[in-house]
Amino acid sequence: MNIFRSKYKTTVDSVELYRGDQVLTSKSVYFRSALKTADKTAIFLQGDNFTKATVKTTAEDAPKLLIIKGSYANTLVPFLTPHYSEITLVDPDKLKEEGKTLSDVADTGAYDQILFMYDCDQFADETNFDLLK
């Protein structure tokens, strides 16, 4: 597994991972302890264990991005951090588990861009888009 290091001066300031009342904080999008588990992709933002993840960077004047995510969206976050001041990822499947909607966890008006990031099969099979109101 390779760890991406940006050639830009932008760095990650903070990471907050939310699941129910639990909040995990970090200074990195990488969780190296995941390399000792079966799910190696969990190195990126601890995998699919959280309803919402917020990554704040040092790119103060850059736009804010909201990602409605599928399983593998976390793997692309390190490549996006140099270009955004804040990246928030929301998992519709976890919203359903918690009985929440998108508006319960994020103010969509606070973001400059919204990105839906899924693989084709998962996007075609997604049944929780109604929670994005």
The 10s digit of each residue's pLDDT in 87-132 is 999 998 899 899 999 999 999 999 999 999 887 776 667 666 666 6
Instruction: For residue 68, give the 3-state DSSP assignment.
Output: strand
- Helices marked H in 1-133 — which ranges? 77-80, 92-98, 102-105, 120-125
Q: Is the pLDDT of residue 30 over 80?
A: yes
Q: Is the pLDDT of residue 52 over 90?
A: yes
Contact 90, 66 (CB under 8 A): yes
**CA separation for the pair 10, 110 (Å, rounded):** 21
pLDDT at 47: 80
